[in-house]
Every structure is written in structure tokens, then in C-alpha cells.
């Protein structure tokens, strides 16, 4: 690599670093270790959102994080989220709180841990498709018409 190319690559890297550091979403995202169930529930508003967050955190299961790599950690599972749905009696009234748990909050400059975001998303998909009118494909475990429907056995 010649000096001009090296300077150009270095300048691009520095510019990318400056842009990323200025983004509030990137600079304010907390980093919770995968070896624990702490997904930031202490930062969530007290009440129903915190209750749902704590339910998701408690439901995390120890699993492999990727494909063909050694990286175990706690993450949401379909069975765990089904249990949260049943135990917390999640319904349409919770959609607003689930949306808040799932997304970046510019007022507080808070970004959810990816496991909280994923758990909240799965709960939203369950609730949004309860009546079968959602947009899940027939093969989705969130579609009541699927033979593998997540709530097939209902809540016991």
C-alpha cells in the first residue's frame, strides 16, 4: 500500500470514528455481559415496563450465541418468552410498553440491551397476531395457523 492510499484509508477510519461517536444511539448504549441476566431493567421505568423487563431477564436461557463459535451466554428463547407472555398476562394494553422497551429513547438517551429488544419484539409479535390478523407468514411460530404456533398449548 502506498503512502497516499494509507493516508486515505486512515482518514476514512478517523472520519467514521468521529461520526459514530457523535451518534447518541451508539454512544449511550450500555454494554451488559452475556454471562449474566442483567439486561438493564434497573434503568427501565418502574411499573409495568419494569415488570415485563424483569420477566424477560428472568426467562433468559444459557445458549450458544452464534454458529460454529464457542460463545455461550444468556439470551431469549421462544419457550422463555412464551412463559413471560403467560405469567405476565401480556396483552394488547402492553404494546406501548413493549415498544418502549424495544426502542431507543432519545429523551433519556437510553438504548435497550439487544436481549431486551429481542424479547420485547417477540412479545409484540405474539400479541399482534393473537387474532390471526397479523402479518406473520403461515410458517411463523407467531402465526396461530402454523402447526408450530408458540401458544399452541395455550397458557397452563
CA–CA separation, 101 vs 88, rounded Å? 15
Query: Does residue 1 have a pLDDT over 80?
Result: no
Looking at the fold, whether 56 and 107 belong to one and the same domain comes out as yes
Looking at the fold, whether 131 and 80 belong to one and the same domain comes out as yes
Band of the pLDDT at 109, cuts 50, 70, 90?
Answer: low
Looking at the fold, whether 22 and 41 belong to one and the same domain comes out as no
pTM over the 0.85 mark = no
The string of pLDDT tens digits covering residues 35-86 is 888 898 998 889 999 999 999 999 999 988 777 777 788 999 999 999 999 9
Dihedral over Cα of 86, 58, 66, 32: its sign: positive
Locus of grid cell 441476566: 37
Amino acid at each position: 500500500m502506498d503512502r497516499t492510499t494509507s493516508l486515505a484509508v486512515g482518514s476514512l477510519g478517523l472520519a467514521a470514528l468521529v461520526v459514530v461517536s457523535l451518534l447518541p444511539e451508539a454512544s449511550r448504549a450500555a454494554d451488559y455481559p452475556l454471562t449474566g441476566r442483567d439486561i438493564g431493567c434497573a434503568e427501565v421505568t418502574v411499573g409495568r415496563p419494569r415488570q415485563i423487563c424483569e420477566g424477560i431477564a428472568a426467562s433468559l436461557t444459557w445458549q450458544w450465541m452464534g454458529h460454529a463459535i464457542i460463545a455461550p451466554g444468556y439470551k431469549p428463547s421462544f419457550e422463555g418468552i412464551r412463559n413471560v407472555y403467560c405469567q405476565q398476562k401480556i396483552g394488547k394494553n402492553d404494546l406501548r410498553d413493549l415498544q418502549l422497551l424495544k426502542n431507543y429513547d432519545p429523551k433519556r438517551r437510553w438504548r435497550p440491551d439487544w436481549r431486551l429488544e429481542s424479547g420485547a419484539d417477540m412479545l409484540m409479535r405474539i400479541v399482534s397476531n393473537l387474532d390471526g390478523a397479523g402479518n406473520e407468514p403461515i410458517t411463523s411460530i407467531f402465526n396461530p395457523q402454523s402447526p408450530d404456533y408458540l401458544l399452541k398449548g395455550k397458557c397452563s
